[in-house]
Amino acid sequence: MSALATDQINVILATDCGSTTTKAILIEKVEGHYRQTYRGEAPTTVEEPAADVTVGVSNAVAEIAELSGRQLLDEQGHIIRPARGNTGCDIYISTSSAGGGLQMLVAGVVREMTAASAKRAALGAGAIVMDTLASNDKRKPYEQIQRIRELRPDMILLSGGTDGGTQKHVVQLAELIAPAKPQPRFGERYRMPVIFAGNKEAWPLVREAFDEGVELSQTENVRPTLDSENLSPARDKIHDLFLEHVMAHAPGYDKLISWTNAPIMPTPGAVGNILRTIAEREGINAVGVDIGGATTDVFSVFDGVFNRTVSANLGMSYSISNVCAEATMENILRWVHIDMDERDLRNRVKNKMIRPTTIPQTLEALIFEQAVAREALRLAYLQHKEFATTLKGIQQQRTVGDLFLQDTGGRSIVDNMKLNLLVASGGVLSHAPRMEQTAAMLIDAFEPEGFTTLAKDSIFMMPHLGVLAQVHPRAALEVFERDCLIYLGTCIASAGLQKPGKEAFRYRITGDLHADGTMHAGEIRLFPLKREQQAMVRIEPVRRLDCGAGKGRPIEQQVRGGTVGLILDARGRPLCVGGSGGAKRDQVSAWVKALRLYDME
């Protein structure tokens, strides 16, 4: 942490060391407000021949120095601090996912309870969870031991038992992990960190189960009682050990750690941190997505509860064939409004896996890629909703209708009608040729209901701001609002289904935009409303539809504009496209024209 008071911090340098690219940004106080002013990037150098992450950091910072005219590096290539005149910066901070990021194994007594809580803690800290072990996961002990030996995680999180409850099962789990002799990913230069976050009364027995071959530590129970979770201590412990063990043994990170003014955070953990910060400050519910080549991360904050999931096999290059297999080509092509040869498309998918950095060169290739993205996002969001649930194992008041539900466990806390802000990041979303395409992919995949603000991360700045929020919250929030987010506009959608062509809702728009009319089921309509503009929108749905106030009840809210504008969506929820009873190609083509996705008249 910098010794400077926050009001003395005027120049901030931040980097994100990704698996392939290191991205740097400069934040400066301009006329009393913090703004992102310059950015630079360079290849990450964690592997040979450089094998020193600071080389890539210095190269990215050097680009900023050249663009800004500010000297940020000394003759040795070290970052100059503090800022004096046109030299140096006041603080330097960083995140990292280089070397594959933080990879963890989690274990808990009951898969649906303590193991699920441990997994939420690990995911929230920015980890990729390689596997979840549990006493009831149906694998025999020798199979579990074999699995532990096969994996080479960076650390292990062990949980089980409520405080004061039974000790037997969590101790048995510890006695299963200990003889497996788990080996860390970076070899034998350090001992495997094992965090115990279970029944505190079982700690002495758990400690006895492990020998000196692991670095064992204890933190507060992730599930102290059946009806409560306590994830923050485990997340903080994971961050500490990530810095102390994992990063300290990765090439060049010991030097990078000595440069920074705050602990290095895993990139996904930092993204989740800024989303949590903005949701808490604004008192809103938010969902963020980052779709990459191999994985798709989904973050959510609903009623103050944060969740993150990693869909490890849903991506746009390395994992694109997995998306096609899981979603099926039929579901992908339902979003396509022009003729395409399926055999050619399958070859296109294989080529994308072989050459993952290629981008679409034709309109047809772009349309297909964005159709794949819709399905990848849809599947990732479904997985997230299944994971982000109320706690299982606690008593809940139930209705007669619940008796007919097969799943008697926790219910998803993700509620699209309560969703206020939906934020997109990742190449296929952030770099779409037209902003309308980004908005359409978000709406089609996430199916927001009621009034929802749509935005995208302009240059993948959220990781930098997530770690900055730990040091200087005001600066992080100002840059997030002014420079990070590009507001696309507002989507207003009706939930429920109405017969195609029948009236869905009436609307009246006043303020910087004046319009009124009727939306019919199956329609989507775009109104120009710029970012600096606002409008008051009154929606009067028919009796069977809900736009936020209940079925058939009118609702009036002020909305903000954006680079796309105001979108009224009367296609219904759940969105039904393709198949025997869904929207056909001519209707999909009408949606494309209504949103002006591909410059069609």
**pLDDT, tens only, 329-359:** 999 999 999 998 888 888 888 888 888 777 8
- Euclidean distance between CA atoms 491 and 29, whole angstroms: 33
pLDDT of residue 395 exceeding 80, the answer is no
Q: Give the residue from 516, 460, 525 showing the smallest Cα distance to 489.
A: 525
Of 220, 252, 284, the residue that ends a domain is 252
* Mean pLDDT value across residues 523-547: 95
pLDDT value of residue 405: 39
Q: What are phi and psi of 406, to 5 degrees?
A: -75, -40
User: Residue 465 falls within a domain, yes or no?
Assistant: no
pLDDT in tens, 117-127: 999 999 988 88
Residues 83 and 108 occupy one common structural domain: no
Q: Write out the E strands in 44-176.
A: 91-96, 102-108, 127-134, 155-158
- Would you say residue 435 has pLDDT above 90? yes
Q: What DSSP string describes 13-56?
A: EEEEE-SSEEEEEEEEEETTEEEEEEEEEEE--SSTTT--HHHH
Question: What percent of the chain has a predicted confidence (pLDDT) above 70?
Answer: 95
226 and 125 in a single domain? The answer is: yes
Question: CATH number, domain at 236?
Answer: 3.40.50.2300
Q: In what order do the strands lie in the sheet with 33-43?
A: 33-43, 21-30, 11-17, 91-96, 265-266
Residues 525 and 567 grouped into a single domain: yes
Q: With contact defined as beta carbons under 8 Å apart, do 469 and 478 qualify?
A: no
pLDDT band, residue 221 (cuts 50/70/90): very high
pLDDT (0 to 100) of residue 402: 41
What CA–CA distance (Å, rounded) separates 470 from 266?
13
The pLDDT of residue 274 is above 60: yes
Q: What is the mean pLDDT of residues 161-188?
A: 86
Q: What is the pTM of this model?
A: 0.86
Residue 436 lies in a domain: no
Q: Same domain for 179 and 236?
A: yes
Last residue of one domain, picked from the residues 203, 226, 252:
252
Last residue of a domain, one of 200, 219, 252: 252
DSSP string across 534-550? EEEEEEEE-TT-BSSSS
The domain of 107 spans 101-252
Same domain? 59 vs 197: no
Q: Which helix (H) or strand (E) holds 199?
A: none
Whether 238 and 171 share a structural domain: yes
Give the mean pLDDT of 282-297. 91
Distance (Å, whole) CA 291 – CA 289: 6
pLDDT of residue 408: 39
Residue 579 lies in a domain: yes
State yes or no: pLDDT of 398 exceeds 50.
Answer: no
- pLDDT value at position 540? 97
Please give the pLDDT value at position 187. Answer: 58
Q: What is the identity of the amino acid at 542?
A: V
Beta strands in 397-502 (DSSP E): 421-425, 450-457, 485-493
Cβ–Cβ < 8 Å for 121, 235: yes
Residue 39: name the closest of 68, 18, 6 by CA.
68
- Residue range 463-471: average pLDDT? 93
- Report pLDDT for 403: 33
Q: Is residue 547 part of a domain?
A: yes
Domain presence at residue 572: yes
Closest CA to 234 of 177, 156, 299: 156
Segment among 37-46, 93-102, 123-132 with least mean pLDDT: 93-102
Same domain, 45 and 154: no
Contact 344/408 with Cβ under 8 angstroms?
Answer: no
* Predicted pLDDT at 593: 95
CB 449 within 8 A of CB 419: yes
Within-domain flag for 156: yes
18 in the same domain as 153 = no
Residue 32 backbone phi and psi in degrees, to 5: 85, 0
> Do 144 and 10 belong together in one domain?
no
Q: Can you tell me the distance from the alpha carbon of 270 to that of 289, in angstroms, rounded to the nearest whole number?
A: 13
Residue % of the chain over a pLDDT of 90:
64
Q: Looking at the structure, do residues 590 and 574 belong to the same domain, yes or no?
A: yes
Same domain, 248 and 116: yes
Chain position carrying tokens 């429920």: 496
Query: Are 128 and 247 found together in one domain?
Result: yes
Computed over every residue of the chain, the mean pLDDT equals 89
Residue 211 in tokens = 């020998």
- What pLDDT shows up at residue 411? 82
> DSSP string spanning 276-296?
HHHHHHHT--EEEEEE-SS-E
Overall number of domains in the chain: 3
Q: What is the CATH number of the domain that holds 77?
A: 3.30.420.40
245 DSSP 8-state letter: I
